[in-house]
Amino acid sequence: MKLLSRYIASHILSSTVIVLLVLLGLYTFMDFVAELDDLGKGQYQLMDIVSYLLLTMPKRIYELLPVAALLGSVIGLGTLASQSELVAMRAAGISVRDINKAVMIVAGLLVIAALLIGEILRPVAEQFAMEKQSLAQTGTVGTRSEHGFWTRDGNHFNHIEEINSNGNFSNIAIYEFDDNNRLRALTKAKKATYKDGGWVLSDVVQSSIDESGVEVNAISYATWKSELNPGMLNVVVVPAEFLPVWDLLSYIDFLKTNHQSVAQYELAFWSKVMMPISTAVMVLLAVPFIFGPLRSSPIGGRVLAGTLVGLGFYIFNQSFQQLALVYDLYPFIAASAPTFLFALMAWWMNRRIN
């Protein structure tokens, strides 16, 4: 049985890799066409686009893995069925449950691959890609928005105009309020550098406000005590879905401490937790396509059905998560409900054919 399990698993894995390569080629070409709109912006040339696409390849692999797992499993098992190999296995006493065990091996391997890509390779590659793209287009490696960034740290409200790739700030304003919500001090600095567990402000202008008036002082350097650290700033520089779970957890804890909204980041965290499980569910869904009502259909019909199911899961998952944010549903429910629903469907369909 171990030999048969490896044989079935190898067919499914090889089909999954082929499907993934095809989907990667298609989506990479679409991204290439989109990036051509920025060609010539600053020093952004064709080789920069190619470099950016290569560095963002882990992102596309991570996003396409569940659909590729479903289609690859359908094609792999369908190929064995079309060659009557599955029929011979069943005639030899191999049950659908035994075949499912081989499928579970593939699911486990794909889960490990998803974790490695999503939590180790993707965050580093994505941040490096964004830095190189920013350097080519603007000549800087900082990240800037039209209105900068706002953070809260206790009674301090901080406005950061620019966050550099090394985690330092440029053009920062710190508004300090007292317990009665009255503005008591305003500190502006050209630069903030993180050293030895704290921040050092450069070219500082401090304004102290009290009942007697405003006192302004200009100094070269000042220290700033804050719970912020460069690791947390990756959450601002890089979209939340690209970060490893430990960075997300750290930033979520920081936001909760300062009584700020965490729904978006908790949703990103639970989505990353559920993604490997979604990949396993997609693999398990392939078995009913071979032994269920579609077993008499040609392989093309099974692939089409698998494609529709995979796209249906992707669209439903993305739409449900955004609706959950709008209607303030608990992030765990928003991230897990589509996966659990399709897992229930996979269990029910497999139970019918056992």
Sheet containing 198-210, strands listed edge to edge, beginning at the edge strand earlier in sequence: 143-153, 156-163, 169-177, 183-195, 198-210, 213-224
- Asked if 232 and 217 count as a contact pair (C-beta separation under 8 A), the reply is no
Domain assignment of residue 220, given as a range:
155-226
- More confident of the two residues 139 and 240: 240
> Of the residues 166, 201, 226, which one is the last residue of a structural domain?
226
Residues 129 and 27 in one domain: yes
Judge whether 200 lies within some domain.
yes
- Same domain? For 118 and 165 the reply is no
Q: Which of 226, 250, 276 is the last residue of a domain?
A: 226
23 and 134: one domain?
yes
pLDDT digits (tens, 9 = 90+) for 39-94: 887 788 888 889 989 998 988 888 888 888 888 888 888 888 777 777 777 777 77
Write out the two tokens for 54: 């290569």
Query: Within this chain, do residues 159 and 300 fall inside the same structural domain, yes or no?
Result: no
Let me know if residue 235 belongs to a domain.
Answer: no
Task: State residue 232's pLDDT score.
Answer: 60
Residue at 126 is within a domain: yes
Q: Which of 226, 255, 287 is where one domain is finished?
A: 226
* 14 and 109 belong to one structural domain: yes
pLDDT tens per residue, range 154-211: 788 888 877 765 667 788 888 988 888 888 888 999 888 888 777 888 889 988 888 8
Does residue 35 belong to any structural domain of this protein? yes
Is 144 part of any domain?
no
CB atoms within 10 A of CB 154: 13
pLDDT of 336 reads: 87
Whole-number pLDDT of residue 142: 47
How many structural domains compose the chain? 2
* 192 and 276 housed in the same domain: no
Residue 144, pLDDT > 50, answer no
* In a shared domain, residues 27 and 125: yes
Query: 24 falls in which pLDDT band (50, 70, 90)?
Result: very high
Q: How far apart are CA 31 and CA 28, in angstroms?
A: 5
DSSP states along 112-174 = HHHHHIIIIIHHHHHHHHHHHHHHHHHS---EEEEEEEEEEETTEEEEEEEE-TTS-EEEEEE
Residues 187 and 288 in one domain: no
Look at residue 167 in the predicted model and tell me its pLDDT: 64
Residue 21 has pLDDT above 90, yes or no: yes
Q: Are residues 12 and 121 in the same domain?
A: yes
284 shares its domain with 204: no
The answer to whether residue 237 is domain-embedded is no
In a domain, 233, yes or no: no
Query: What's the pTM value of the predicted model, to 2 decimals?
Result: 0.67
Quote the pLDDT of residue 294: 46
Domain for residue 238, yes or no? no
Q: Are 133 and 48 in contact (CB under 8 A)?
A: yes
One domain, residues 134 and 267: yes
Pair (106, 15) in one structural domain: yes
